[in-house]
């Protein structure tokens, strides 16, 4: 029978698949199952903020996962654990002993290097090379040998879940190994933007810029998020130039090449294009098989060849999904002490294969925006000047554009407009506001979470 530590590890492993690294680390750090009594589970959380977040935003997912593992569980409650874990040597030791052995599953999100913000789990050693990523890998490796000179900036692009973050972080980690004195910073572009925004607000922008100019290696992930953020782009441009001039290495990633990033200042675009641009493509069947087999070895699980074949043939979208599929099989293996056969595999992967994660549609977006602002769905779709509706309506249009890439005319029609100018106006207005309205950013992130939750 699975014990409570293992049960919680299994929940975390699943939640991690559908949550960003930052959110996962924020909301699930220091959480655990405190007790299980009569079908009721008590989860301890470190503060009331986490408690609120877990019980409001993640409750359904947690309950669903726990019930899929243990049908006897009926309810889950959350409690704030006020006792801070004591960091005495003895305690640390004890903690290690009781830590379940399956933490390889994926909890390294908690072990992020405080100085560099790098995740030590991502290395070149566990980065598998195939024809889809070998040139990107070679360039990143070269940079890690001789940062600041050959390829600067190094710009890696490719679709989601294909290894951009892994490659960027592996490069950072290796530079750290090769040149321990170098100051390396890894930051997602979104985090960089909010830093800039708050520094401007608090009149500390010069301080921040000086700090950034002292970096030897700046790694910025997902820079497509700089699109439309004019102020951030301007500050970044200056930092970029001073780093570049001083032969400091800059490594960037994006989901598309520089010329395809909308609302990116021309001068930044040409700076990016002045470096080395590499893409990561899609792995083919053989490469996916090699990746899956290597990951099985890493995780110490043996799967029948029919199972391997089923996974590789059906989970094609990206490597993250491939890992997600493997995680489900690992959890089964852990709980039942045997590898799943092909029939069980089909059941375990059913939702992944038939309802791919992170998909959404018009109905869901409208429903979640309406729910968030406590409105009726129809309120959003009908033209109105009512103040409490104007903003949610614009946000809904913005999300249709950003999440579904709908055309402006199509958005216009759905919202009762005859032409597409209303849609353009709404999307631009929200994009602009997001730049310095942290409440709005927060709202939109929460709505997005709802839109994409429930896919586990």
Q: Which does 264 bind (CB under 5 to 8 A by kind): Mg ion, ligand ADP, none?
A: none
Spatial CB neighbours of 126, under 8 Å, sequence gap ≥ 6:
298
**Nearest CB to ligand ADP, comparing residues 44 and 254:** 254
For ligand ADP, the binding residue among 136, 143, 164, 243 (CB under 6 A) is: 164
Using the minimum distance from each CB to ligand ADP, give the nearer residue, 164 or 393: 164
CB 162 to ligand ADP: min, Å: 4
Nearer to ligand ADP (CB atom), residue 147 or residue 163:
163
The stretch near ligand ADP (CB under 6 A) out of 231-239, 242-250, 319-327, 349-357 is 319-327
Smallest distance from Mg ion to CB 184, Å: 17
Tell me the residue number closest to Mg ion, measured at CB: 165
Among 152, 165, 233, 249, binds Mg ion (CB under 5 A): 165
* Distance between CA atoms of residues 160 and 17, nearest Å: 13
Sole residue written with tokens 């009721």: 40
Dist CA 185 CA 195 (whole Å): 14
- Regarding 165 and contact with ligand ADP (CB under 6 A), the answer is yes
Q: Min. distance of Cβ 257 from ligand ADP in angstroms?
A: 14
Does position 44 bind Mg ion by CB under 5 A?
no
Number of amino acids touching Mg ion (CB under 5 A): 2
Q: Please state whether the peptide bond connecting residue 395 to the residue before it is cis, i.e. omega within 30 degrees of 0.
A: no
Minimum Å gap between C-beta 139 and ligand ADP is 14
- Closest CB to ligand ADP among 45 and 156? 156
Selection from Mg ion, ligand ADP, none that 323 binds (CB < 5 to 8 A by kind) is ligand ADP
CB of 45 to Mg ion, least distance (A): 27
Nearer to ligand ADP, 143 or 291 (CB): 291
Rg (CA), the chain: 23
Which residue number has the CB closest to ligand ADP? 163
Nearest CA among 271, 452, 260 for reference residue 356: 452
Place of tokens 């014990």: 3
Indicate whether 328 belongs to the interface with ligand ADP (CB under 6 A). no
Residue 160 makes contact with ligand ADP by CB under 6 A: yes
**Of the two residues 165 and 394, which places its CB atom closer to Mg ion in the complex?**
165
Judged by beta carbon, residue 254 or residue 345, the one nearer Mg ion is 254
Output the six-digit token pair for 10.
């299994």
Q: Which one of ligand ADP, Mg ion, none interacts with residue 128, CB within 5 to 8 A by kind?
A: ligand ADP
172 contributes a contact to ligand ADP by CB under 6 A: no
For Mg ion, give the closer residue by CB, 20 or 68: 20
- Binding segment toward ligand ADP, per CB under 6 A, in 162-170, 201-209, 270-278, 405-413: 162-170
- In angstroms, what is the minimal distance from the CB of 221 to Mg ion? 6
Q: Does 323 bind ligand ADP (CB under 6 A)?
A: yes
For the bound state, the minimum distance from the C-beta of residue 165 to ligand ADP, rounded and expressed in Å, comes to 3
Residue 406 contact, options ligand ADP, Mg ion, none, Cβ 5-8 Å cut-off depending on partner type: none
Please, which residue, 322 or 368, has the CB nearer to ligand ADP? 322
Kindly identify the residues of this chain, within the stretch 99-128, that bind ligand ADP according to CB under 6 A.
126-128
Number of residues that bind ligand ADP (CB under 6 A): 16
Core vs surface per residue 165-187: b (16+ CB within 10 A) or e? bbbbbbbbbbbbeeeeebebbbb
What string of H, E and C letters represents the secondary structure of the chain? Answer: CCCHHHHHHHHHHHHHHCCCHHHHHHHHCCCEEEEEECCEEEEEECCHHHHHHHHHHHHHHHHHHHHHHCCCCCEEEEEECCCCCCCCHHHHHHHHHHCCHHHHHCHHHHHCCCCCCCCCCCCCCCCCCCCCCHHHHHHHHHHHHCCCCCCCCEEEECCCCCCHHHHHHHHHHHHHHHCCCCCEEEEEHHHHHHHHHHHHHCCCHHHHHHHHHCCCEEEEECHHHHCCCHHHHHHHHHHHHHHHHCCCEEEEEECCCHHHCCCCCHHHHHHHHCCEEEECCCCCHHHHHHHHHHHHHHHCCCCCHHHHHHHHHHCCCCHHHHHHHHHHHHHHHHHHCCCCCHHHHHHHCHHHHHCCCCCCCHHHHHHHHHHHCCCCHHHHHCCCCCHHHHHHHHHHHHHHHHHHCCCHHHHHHHCCCCCCHHHHHHHHHHHHHHCCCHHHHHHHHHHHHHHHCCCC
Report if residue 23 touches Mg ion, rule: CB under 5 A: no
| Residue 154 or 370 with smaller CB distance to ligand ADP | 154
In the complex, the residues that contact ligand ADP under the rule CB under 6 A are 126-128, 133, 158, 160-166, 291, 319-320, 323
Site residues (vs Mg ion, CB under 5 A)? 164-165
């Amino acid at each position: 029978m699975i014990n409570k530590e293992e049960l919680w590890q299994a929940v975390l492993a699943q939640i991690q698949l559908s949550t960003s690294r930052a959110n996962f680390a924020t909301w699930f750090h220091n959480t655990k199952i405190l007790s299980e009594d009569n079908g009721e589970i008590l989860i301890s959380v470190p503060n009331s903020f986490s408690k609120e977040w877990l019980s409001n935003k993640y409750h359904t997912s947690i309950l669903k996962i726990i019930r899929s593992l243990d049908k006897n569980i009926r309810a889950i409650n959350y409690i704030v654990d006020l006792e801070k874990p004591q960091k005495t040597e003895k305690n640390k030791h004890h903690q290690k002993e009781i830590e379940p052995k399956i933490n390889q599953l994926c909890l390294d999100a908690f072990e992020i290097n405080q100085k560099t913000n790098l995740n030590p789990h991502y290395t070149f050693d566990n980065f598998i090379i195939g024809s889809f990523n070998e040139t990107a890998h070679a360039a990143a490796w070269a940079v890690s040998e001789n940062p600041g000179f050959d390829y600067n900036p190094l710009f890696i692009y490719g679709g989601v879940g294909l290894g951009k973050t892994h490659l960027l972080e592996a490069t950072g980690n290796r530079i750290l190994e090769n040149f321990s004195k170098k100051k390396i910073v890894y930051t997602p572009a979104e985090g960089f933007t909010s830093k800039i925004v708050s520094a401007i607000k608090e009149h500390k922008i010069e301080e921040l810029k000086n700090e950034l100019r002292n970096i030897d290696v700046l790694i910025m992930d997902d820079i497509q998020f700089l699109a439309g953020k004019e102020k951030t782009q301007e500050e970044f441009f200056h930092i970029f130039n001073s780093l570049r001039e001083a032969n400091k290495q800059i490594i960037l990633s994006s989901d598309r090449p520089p010329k395809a990033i909308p609302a990116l200042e021309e001068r930044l675009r040409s700076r990016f294009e002045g470096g080395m641009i590499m893409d990561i493509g899609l792995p083919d069947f053989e490469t996916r098989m090699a990746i899956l087999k290597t990951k099985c070895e890493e995780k110490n699980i043996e799967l029948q060849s029919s199972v391997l074949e089923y996974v590789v043939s059906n989970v094609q979208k990206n490597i993250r999904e491939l890992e997600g599929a493997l995680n489900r099989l690992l959890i089964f293996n852990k709980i039942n002490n045997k590898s799943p056969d092909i029939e069980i595999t089909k059941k375990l992967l059913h939702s992944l294969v038939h309802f791919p994660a992170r998909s959404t549609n018009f109905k869901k977006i409208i429903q979640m925006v309406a729910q968030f602002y406590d409105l009726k769905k129809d309120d959003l779709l009908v033209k109105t000047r009512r103040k409490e509706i104007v903003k949610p309506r614009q946000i809904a249009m913005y999300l249709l554009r950003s999440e579904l890439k709908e055309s402006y005319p199509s958005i216009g029609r759905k919202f009762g407009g005859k032409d597409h100018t209303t849609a353009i106006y709404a999307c631009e207005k929200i994009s602009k506001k997001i730049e310095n309205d942290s409440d709005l950013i927060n709202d939109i992130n929460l709505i997005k979470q709802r839109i994409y939750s429930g896919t586990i």
